[in-house]
Amino acid sequence: MNRILKAVKLDFYSAKSFAPTLGILCVANFIFTFLLAAPINAIQTGMIFAIIPGGMVFTAHEGRHAKLYGILPLQKYEVVVSRYISGAIIGVVNLLISCAFVYIVLLGHPGIFLTPGAGIWPMAMCMFIYYCLSVSIAYPLYFAFGFRRTVLVTIFPLMLIGLLVSYLLVSSPLYSEDWLSRHQLFTGPHLFASIIVVILVCLALLAASALISYAIYKRKEL
């Protein structure tokens, strides 16, 4: 476990050169949502953008920092586990930042009223599931063919899927106060149950994907 945690730290250390790019994406997301006075868009665009740093942790293993991983050294399953932990951390951090942007935009536009149950929680949960699904699809491809070879054929299609998911969510009954008042999935005691379900779904997606990635990576190294 200690080596896995060190590998996670190394993933972020090796990918720190991309920090300016990620900062630009965050600023662009905030400006976009603030100018449009559409706070819920912060979660949509934030989690779609998260796919980019979610894959950047692979560049370290393929670039000039590759030799650092040999110092630990890591077994194959530890490499896979550390990579998925890094991806999950990136997703959670991006989700928290995106939700913070929502409330900041709301403060800047007092005329906008957005209840958590009517927009924030449903969008946050669904978009986090989307992010975990994207990771589950992309990571086995990265392990099989390398990040640099497959980045264009994975990130852009997944982003388009994210835009489609966002549109369907906004058009769905999840944004109807009448529907929410009847089902109350995102308020009171039902909110905690909904969060647990989302966590279990995301863990199941990531675990299944990690098993596939391990099978690919193990065979590739032989």
- pLDDT tens, position by position, 80-123: 898 899 889 888 988 888 888 887 877 776 655 555 445 677 77
- Measured distance CA(117)–CA(159) in Å, rounded: 25
Confidence bin at 77 (pLDDT 50/70/90): confident
- Measured distance CA(65)–CA(84) in Å, rounded: 19
pLDDT at 62: 61
* Phi (first) and psi of residue 111, to 5 degrees: -75, -15
- Measured distance CA(16)–CA(63) in Å, rounded: 13
Based on the number of CB atoms within 10 Å of its own CB, is 16 exposed (0-12), middle (13-18) or buried (19 or more)? exposed
Most confident of 131-140, 184-193, 212-221: 131-140
Return the higher-pLDDT residue of 130 and 219: 130
Contact 157, 125 (CB under 8 A): no
Tell me the pTM.
Answer: 0.82
| CB-CB neighbours of 176 under 10 Å | 12
pLDDT at 124: 82
How many domains are there within the chain?
1
Provide the domain limits for residue 107. Answer: 2-221
What's the angle, vertex CA 53, arms to CA 71 and CA 80, rounded to 5?
A: 45
- pLDDT tens, position by position, 22-60: 788 788 888 877 777 777 777 878 888 788 777 777 776
- Measured distance CA(48)–CA(190) in Å, rounded: 27
- Measured distance CA(42)–CA(102) in Å, rounded: 6
What's the angle, vertex CA 127, arms to CA 87 and CA 155, rounded to 5?
A: 55
Contact 127, 44 (CB under 8 A): yes
- pLDDT tens, position by position, 160-210: 888 888 777 777 665 655 555 555 656 666 777 888 888 999 999 999 999
